[in-house]
Structure 1
Amino acid sequence: MTQEMNRPAPVAPEAGAARETLEDYTLRFAPRSYRRWSPGVVGVTALGGIAYLADFAIGANIGIAYGTTNALWGIAVFALVVIATGLPLAYYAARYNLDLDLITRGSGFGYYGSILTNVIFATFTFIFFALEGSIMAQGLQLGLGVPLWAGYAVSTVIIFPLVVYGMSLLSTLQVWTTPLWLVLMVLPFGYLLVAHPDSVSTFLAYQGEDGLGAPSLGSVMLAAGVCLSLIAQIAEQIDYLRFMPPKTPENARRWWAATLLAGPGWVLFGAAKQVVGLFLAVYLIAHVADGATVANEPVHQFLSIYSDLMPGWLAITLAVVLVVISQIKINVTNAYSGSLAWTNSFTRITGTYPGRLVFLGVNLVIALVLMEANMFDFLNTILGFYANMGIAWIVVVATDIVVNKYLLGISPKVPEFRRGMLYAVNPVGFGSVVLAGGLSIAAFFGLLGEALAPFSPLVAIVLGVVLPPVIALATQGRYYLRRTDDGIDLPMFDEHGNPSDAVLGCHVCGQDLERPDMTACTAHDAHVCSLCLSTDRAQEHVLPAQA
């Protein structure tokens, strides 16, 4: 398996930027010739990205604020929403080998309209990079005495070299670090259940720091809103799922298992970690002196339990090791996915491809600024606010796939992402996100009445489900496709419905690329690839609108 992952990908001898693009197909369809990993390897790699400790902090924070009962119901709401929206998105990514931005373009947003959602996603990556970096800095301060400001810098700089080589290195990193991470994470929880069974009843009875955690729908939705800030995690899962091999009768069972587990299935692990994070926090508050002051910090949660099991020097060593491994596993994904999102948007807006590494640096700098501003102290507010736009985006795209594509038949079932084939902006998705996200943010800040403020996530969900079919019916679906014919006679799919692996040459860059990435260039009686179309500022190679 390791030899398979480390085998060099077929890369044309092009200039540096072109080689980097081909290495992970940053802005385009991931071709069959590059997707050499098995479903199992892709699934494990994708799940490696959910090793973050932020879930422990989130679970602790919402439990301390709203009590155990409300927090558990909030986590359940979060899990149900993520599964319902993540399933269609994961399927489309694995089936058609596209990242979520490319799926979003043809699912109601248009070629330029999806830039809005790219910005939403890029924001997600640097917020959670900063959150995980803060947790790592806390661990370095506790274990090695490193000042927080220096820990923030270390947790940022260490990620850059690991992300340079994209999927080739990330797959190996995630596979080899996962077993140790699982042991270190599960050990404290299992120990408490066996050695302190009374901790379960203490946990279930916990009413929050103010003792006001009686069951309340408003508190449940506030807790769910904080958790739902993670809804955009499906986009990071998809950045790996797009490398799934073709689905065939021989591998169908393994293909579906990997797609479901690494797609919407990530939330089962995320929800479990949030519950454990709250469980450990309650234990610290009830049994450890000054535990309430650090109960929401994962490094202290694990250190306290490890200290009951082993000598102090070993306990603190393992706590720091767990924090560092977890931070690296998730932040290579945050940095990688963020660099893709920024690069994609910049290239479409300017027609210039600066290279993914430029925006890798940009994303890391933004995250470092957030860490130095001590964002950890305002976690609930930051995540609760951000969740509204994240929910709006994911729910709108999922609704377009399920309702507009399959139930109403208005949106084309096959995803389209190529310039010239799409309108610049489609009001179905773009308008829905602006309205759903805008109104839910207004509700969050109490502008629609204080009574509605706790339910801002519900506003985003309801509008995200209702608006896409309403706008699609009102516009009769006319803004989905600018063209239905890309000018190439070869079929787009093989006999199993997988994207074709037929190879065509791009007359602009000279590269040989697979059929789904190409369109005809009638101006030169040749073929042109999607990246060259993206950088065609004169629109010389873009197909005209179809009558």
Structure 2
Amino acid sequence: MSNPTTSAPPPGGTNTHPGVHVGAATAETLEDYTLRFAPRHYRRWTPGVVATSALGGIAYLADFSIGANIGIAHGTVNALLGIAVAAVVIFVTGFPLAYYAARYNLDLDLITRGSGFGYHGSVVTNVIFATFTFIFFALEGSIMAQGLELGLGVPLWLGYAASTIIIFPLVVYGMKVLSTLQVWTTPLWLVLMVIPFAYLVISHPESVSQFTSYAGQDGTGGTVSIAAVMLAAGVCLSLIAQIAEQIDYLRFMPPRTPENSRRWWTAVVLAGPGWVVFGALKQAIGLFLAVYLIASLDPDAAATANEPVHQFLGIYEEMMPGWLALVLAVVLVVISQIKINVTNAYSGSLAWTNSYTRITKHYPGRLVFVGVNLLIALTLMEANMFDFLNGILGFYANCGIAWICTVATDIVVNKYLLKLSPMVPEFRRGMLYPVNPVGFVSLLLSAGLSILVFFGAFGDGIQPYSPMVAVVLAVVCPPVLAVATRGRYYLRRDDDGIAAPMFDEHGNPSGEVFTCHVCRQDYERPDVAACATHDDVVCSLCLSTDKVADHVLPARG
């Protein structure tokens, strides 16, 4: 049953079937393929442009704060070991997710659905991801507000509002605008960030020995403490969900062919799990700058040494006139905040919209949830989240680890080793069970027990190890549950009713075009399924918004 076409249908088709919300919703999702597969005809960027755009999204200064905070608390040695532990976990778990996103052109929510969670089961992971985006939006917005207060005398409350409002018009459009913004601002950002570090290493070589010997505020961090390392790693692991934001760019990778295979893999590795290499370096540099300020300029500087604007301003002032130092510090902060927070706002809006649409079967428009995400972030900023940053990040890390490690384990172990999970990620309604216990229960156990450990429910001795508890449970539970259920809850049915092949000769998603008989728009093969009540095809969005399940295929017999 298929209906291929090469002609363009009327734009913004009308709804001729009850219970299905189309028209304006369909048109908006086609701007950046919200909720759906990113088709071949849209993915015209080179691997290098996609990778640069994705890495532009990690321009955030939160890494400098995180590195400074854990170093001031636990000393340089323990902080660096914690950073390294977190980086290894993030890279290993991020690799299979990045590969699946780039290979099959899906965001992490769509991958999660078919990797152990089910059609509705992944709603909880969307909430986890949306939480990540507004926490880090608020953190970056707070840093920008600090810069505006220092440079222009803008009150913090007004700076919080300004750092929020400025982002909204930039995320009205999707990948087209974001890729341009990231590519053009990255060179200036790199120069402004690297200069202070290079200056200290060259002009003040003693800063290196000060850094390596720094024992923290209480002086107990001069020796290795496993508990301190784990506490530091837990804070850094709060960034594990950053791979989902990288994937929001990587899903637009071009098809992998023999001609571009090397460039394709390089882009996927660098912009996928490779982001953590750059992130770890920024955390170490943040601590390096903070230690220099504390040791060389002002022993009381620890009060603001964890704030990137003060870190960079302090070093710039040694290099140039005060007015120029202030200008450059503020410019760096503003560019960084804009580069990351357009991604936070964009990705957060996708996560909220995905969840809302599946629960209500109504698509309200992505911009509604841009506003929701920004409002939550602004509330966090006004509550002065910097005062309890480590606590927020340490708690959140347990949730992020549980999600990412569960999906990564399902891909690596359940798909490739046990062969119990379908190799090709499925995301369409009707093809998946509402909830798959393999991923859903694993997430609840991993996140729930590690959070209890984090809050001391099992004693102080194990409390610092809550991130490792989350990792271990998220690795062990999915294969155990997959074997116990024999993998029967992954697919509600095996056949989507369309005879045309899903992939081309190189294993890339097919570019064959079909017309949805509901919204009258063209979609490529992976984004459609046969209609249950008509001899025709229906797109994934119309399936998602079908309130009476008129078009949803029945379960297999």
TM-score per shorter chain, which class? Answer: over 0.9
Matched ranges for 1:338-377 at <5 A: 338-377=348-387
Root-mean-square deviation (Å)? 0.9
Q: Name the counterpart of 2:15.
A: none
Q: How many residues align?
A: 538
- The one-letter amino acid paired with 2:493 is R
Q: Name the counterpart of 2:117.
A: 109
Q: Partners in 2 of 1:150 and 1:464 — Cα distance?
A: 42
Matched ranges for 1:65-464 at <5 A: 65-213=73-221, 214-289=223-298, 290-464=300-474
Deviation for aligned residue 1:79: 0.6
Q: Partners in 1 of 2:534 and 2:119 — Cα distance?
A: 23
Indicate conservation of the 8 Å contact 1:133/1:155, yes or no.
yes
Q: Partners in 1 of 2:440 and 2:210 — Cα distance?
A: 47
Deviation for aligned residue 1:336: 0.2
Q: Partners in 2 of 1:282 and 1:539 — Cα distance?
A: 60
Equivalent of residue 501 in structure 2, options 474, 481, 491: 491
Three-state SS of the structure 2 residue aligned to 1:504 is strand
Deviation for aligned residue 1:16: 3.5
- The one-letter amino acid paired with 1:26 is T
Q: Partners in 1 of 2:546 and 2:69 — Cα distance?
A: 48
Q: 1:299 to 1:11 in 2, by over 3 A?
A: farther
Deviation for aligned residue 1:212: 1.1
Q: Could you give the per-residue CA deviations for residues 371-408 of structure 1, whole angstroms, max 9, x where no partner exists?
A: 00000110000000000000000000000000000011
- The one-letter amino acid paired with 1:406 is Y
| 1:526 matched to 2:524 | no
Q: Name the counterpart of 1:25.
A: 33
Three-state SS of the structure 2 residue aligned to 1:507 is coil
In the alignment, structure 2 segments of 5+ residues that lack a partner are: 1-7, 13-22
Q: Partners in 2 of 1:17 and 1:494 — Cα distance?
A: 30
Q: Partners in 2 of 1:131 and 1:476 — Cα distance?
A: 43
Three-state SS of the structure 1 residue aligned to 2:169 is helix
Indicate conservation of the 8 Å contact 1:229/1:387, yes or no.
yes
- The one-letter amino acid paired with 2:105 is N
Three-state SS of the structure 2 residue aligned to 1:32 is coil
Three-state SS of the structure 2 residue aligned to 1:277 is helix
Stretches of 4+ aligned residues off by more than 3 angstroms: none
Indicate conservation of the 8 Å contact 1:228/1:391, yes or no.
yes
Deviation for aligned residue 1:11: 10
| 1:545 matched to 2:543 | no
Indicate conservation of the 8 Å contact 1:11/1:23, yes or no.
no
Q: Partners in 1 of 2:469 and 2:532 — Cα distance?
A: 46
Larger displacement relative to structure 2 (281-290 or 238-247): 281-290
Indicate conservation of the 8 Å contact 2:353/2:366, yes or no.
yes
Larger displacement relative to structure 2 (280-289 or 436-445): 280-289
In the alignment, structure 1 segments of 5+ residues that lack a partner are: 1-9
Q: 1:210 to 1:12 in 2, by over 3 A?
A: farther
Q: Name the counterpart of 2:485.
A: 475
Matched ranges for 1:5-44 at <5 A: 13-14=11-12, 15-44=23-52
Indicate conservation of the 8 Å contact 1:238/1:263, yes or no.
yes
Deviation for aligned residue 1:19: 2.0
Indicate conservation of the 8 Å contact 1:126/1:338, yes or no.
yes
Indicate conservation of the 8 Å contact 2:117/2:437, yes or no.
yes
Q: Partners in 2 of 1:173 and 1:424 — Cα distance?
A: 38
Q: Name the counterpart of 2:55.
A: 47
Indicate conservation of the 8 Å contact 2:35/2:350, yes or no.
yes
Q: Could you give the per-residue CA deviations for residues 187-237 of structure 1, whole angstroms, max 9, x where no partner exists?
A: 000000011000111111011011111311010000000000000000000
- The one-letter amino acid paired with 1:87 is F
Q: Larger relative CO (CA 8 A, sep 6+): 1 or 2?
A: 2
Indicate conservation of the 8 Å contact 1:12/1:19, yes or no.
no
Deviation for aligned residue 1:12: 6.6
Deviation for aligned residue 1:522: 2.9
Deviation for aligned residue 1:514: 0.4
Deviation for aligned residue 1:291: 1.6
Q: Could you give the per-residue CA deviations for residues 345-382 of structure 1, whole angstroms, max 9, x where no partner exists?
A: 00000000000000000000000000000001100000
Q: Partners in 2 of 1:422 and 1:266 — Cα distance?
A: 32
Three-state SS of the structure 1 residue aligned to 2:295 is helix
Indicate conservation of the 8 Å contact 1:11/1:19, yes or no.
no
Q: Partners in 1 of 2:555 and 2:173 — Cα distance?
A: 38
- The one-letter amino acid paired with 1:257 is T
Larger displacement relative to structure 2 (12-21 or 306-315): 12-21
Q: 1:12 to 1:210 in 2, by over 3 A?
A: farther
Deviation for aligned residue 1:259: 0.4
Three-state SS of the structure 1 residue aligned to 2:530 is strand
Three-state SS of the structure 1 residue aligned to 2:462 is helix
Three-state SS of the structure 1 residue aligned to 2:218 is coil
Q: Partners in 1 of 2:439 and 2:10 — Cα distance?
A: 36
Q: Partners in 2 of 1:236 and 1:524 — Cα distance?
A: 38
Deviation for aligned residue 1:73: 0.3
Indicate conservation of the 8 Å contact 2:145/2:156, yes or no.
yes
- The one-letter amino acid paired with 2:46 is S
Q: Partners in 1 of 2:483 and 2:27 — Cα distance?
A: 43
Three-state SS of the structure 2 residue aligned to 1:223 is helix
Indicate conservation of the 8 Å contact 2:11/2:521, yes or no.
no
| TM-score (structure 2 length as normaliser) | 0.96
Percentage identity across paired residues of the two chains: 77
Q: Partners in 2 of 1:12 and 1:209 — Cα distance?
A: 66
Indicate conservation of the 8 Å contact 1:504/1:513, yes or no.
yes
Q: Could you give the per-residue CA deviations for residues 122-159 of structure 1, whole angstroms, max 9, x where no partner exists?
A: 00000000000000000000000000000000000000
| TM-score (structure 1 length as normaliser) | 0.98
Deviation for aligned residue 1:450: 1.3
